[in-house]
Chain A
């Protein structure tokens, strides 16, 4: 098999899928549905001796030499052209956060000089000191001498020793299912020195949590592969943040927030039980491990902290976000929403915190949508129809439109509802405004000559918002709290950040009767990880939240279906 773009050839066995060969070659192609042949997003150009496509594949391919990598199988010599990569994901590397004082568990101290005493130097110090690395360093210093000594303390343990005062660094990470964000912090001053973000490389094993767990169920090395994938990327990020390996050794703590499954993958723990009722994870509590034990290329005595989660589907990312936005301290009733394939919902009802999650499906991430795509260059991200019924849209990067991402989908749907292209039921209006008639053909609304929203796309969006609205309604009902009393909805995550709140209201993304304000807080999970890294009190507060928050499981609630169906309309 020949990869034309990469000028690379490999041997493949007859009958192997293209996606398998791509992985074998060490190349990356995203496979959102993990090879089920459902999403059609792994299209590649391939020609040569391939088995002909079957009906499932035919449904997705419409041009010669275009095949689905997950279904097309090799019969002989094959040439393949992968799509050009390096499309940066538009994600947000910032978020709203409260201010906290700097009080990290990592501190630098001036140490007494090396005096001529009988007692070993380290054993005279008022700290715990036993480590081979430290002994080696003191051994060196005994030989060459040092006029000044500075130590790095973690809690009350001496973990490093230098002859000059260096920087003490920390890294805060949010591992999202789709994107990763990381900050480099000076732990003495609290200053953010660098930021980095990237696509989660695990997307090649499936775009959502469930398909990655499925991968682990089908492949015994799955958890290992997913661990290697994420750790490799995290170590790259640390290097990119610090600029050089030697400086990476000055990183003494990494604090990680993420959903429960992502945290399992960091440790290579099989997450299978999270994806089966009763959806039980292997661990929820905060995990503190030595960097070398986890495989982080920072100071080997440094600490890697995985923040605690509340349940299998209400993860550390949510708890971190709550703390970053001081959501738990709000003095008015409020909702906190983080919307992706799963929508997480937390309510603060007079100090009582209740959380749940609901299966929103991948529509809001541009998947399962005919012309959907991720928030990347060329994605339509805003849209409106003006009073003269002219269309206006923008694309990410300002390039020509190639697809529609989640925020675009919401804007477009809102415009369709507003201008009665669709009825409240979600059905295309049979009596269209004559001036708009030409834009609707075959139950498809055409924004451009080749980009459209189909009836099925509208249905997918209805399912997503129905799940979220039903989740909110049921949660409040369980708590015995009226919707009208909720004063604020806080929307976290990349999804909300780029969305027009008016469009959200137009399509009824929040339950009818919600009168409060809508505030977007961006990547509050990364912010929470940053605050926890800077301040031990915040870390303790997250643990306290984990203990306090009540978690409801909605899918087993007999009334969920009623609320869901009622919430589907616009």
Chain B
């Protein structure tokens, strides 16, 4: 199998969530001395992009996305030890969490999984995250983005507070702020002055990349 066919097969197996097949094909790339970097970007990431598209088109739902991400990770585990770290583009760093007062984190977890599978370096603060913690962590790790999520209308104002605190500390321009969750809308995003709103996990990742000039 030549390189291009192999990458296509990896993408295809990933989209069909065939975990073992993805791992086997990844082994095959190593046998053929194909660079891990290329396998990741041309095979695995391409596959996840397709998964994202299917999710946005409502063909795939949470279970399929999670199974695909398992397949992605199975492939990554095989080639990662052989990755020449220098070949990597500097990853986009993001700090992510569910805002203070809310413990519903499935949506946030999905964004974490998909952005991780798209090459983001993700710092997950979990749920019910004290608002200042978002800024502290972003400062500590030199993040590019701050991502906040909530399912409840009663806690969404926490996002505005984080943005205001960024402004007070003259840090607003240092970070792109991405928000999402059940009650969040573009109107709310505009109102509180966030940089980006996405209504599902896949478009969040796609739009975040566009915003960072990595589309």
Contacts and interface: CB of A to CB of B under 8 A. Distances in A.
Interface of A: 33-34, 36-38, 54-56, 71, 210-211, 213-214, 217, 272, 275-277, 359, 361, 425-427, 443, 455-456, 459, 462, 553, 555-556, 561, 564-566, 568-569
A338 B66 CA distance: 30
15 contacts: A33-B183, A34-B153, A36-B187, A38-B183, A55-B186, A210-B153, A277-B103, A277-B128, A359-B151, A425-B61, A427-B59, A456-B58, A555-B103, A566-B63, A568-B62
A62 B154 CA distance: 31
Interface of B: 58-64, 66, 100-106, 109, 127-128, 151-155, 157, 182-183, 185-188
Contacts of A565: 62-63, 66
A564 B106 contact: yes
B187 A37 contact: yes
Contacts of A217: 154, 157
A555 B103 CA distance: 6
Contacts of A214: 153-154
B24 to A, nearest CB: 25
A100 B166 CA distance: 62
B64 A425 contact: yes
Contacts of B100: 276-277
B35 to A, nearest CB: 34
Given A36-B153, A55-B186, A277-B128, A359 B62 contact: no
Contacts, number: 79
A426 B106 contact: no
A211 B153 contact: yes
Nearest to A564: B106
Contact of B185 (A36, A361, A553): A36
Given A55-B186, A426-B61, A556 B101 contact: no
Given A359-B104, A456-B58, A556-B103, A275 B63 contact: no
B66 A275 contact: no
A218 to B, nearest CB: 9
A207 to B, nearest CB: 12
Given A277-B103, A555-B104, A565-B66, A36 B188 contact: yes
A136 to B, nearest CB: 47
Nearest to A275: B154
Nearest to A271: B154
Contact of A276 (B155, B183, B188): B155
B110 to A, nearest CB: 9
A213 B183 contact: no
Contacts of B64: 425
Contact of B152 (A33, A36, A37, A275): A275
Contacts of B157: 217
Contact of B63 (A34, A276, A569): A569
B152 A459 contact: no
Contacts of B58: 427, 443, 455-456, 459
Contacts of B183: 33, 36, 38
Contacts of B63: 425, 565-566, 568-569
B6 to A, nearest CB: 28
A361 B104 CA distance: 13
Contact of A210 (B60, B105, B154): B154
Contacts of B154: 210, 213-214, 217, 272, 275-276
Contacts of A56: 185-187
Name the 3 nearest CB pairs between A and B, nearest first: A276-B101, A275-B154, A214-B153
Contacts of B59: 427
Given A37-B187, A555-B104, A568-B61, A275 B155 contact: yes
A565 B113 CA distance: 14
B188 A556 contact: no
A561 B187 contact: no
A556 B104 CA distance: 8
Q: Which of A210, A459, A462, A568 has the most C-beta atoms of chain B within 10 angstroms of its own C-beta?
A: A210
Given A37-B187, A459-B61, A561 B101 contact: no
| Interface-centre pick from B66, B153, B155, B157 (highest chain A CB count, 10 A) | B153
A204 B64 CA distance: 39
Nearest to B153: A214
A307 to B, nearest CB: 25
B61 A277 contact: no
Nearest to B106: A561
A34 B188 CA distance: 13
A34 B185 CA distance: 13
A275 B100 CA distance: 11
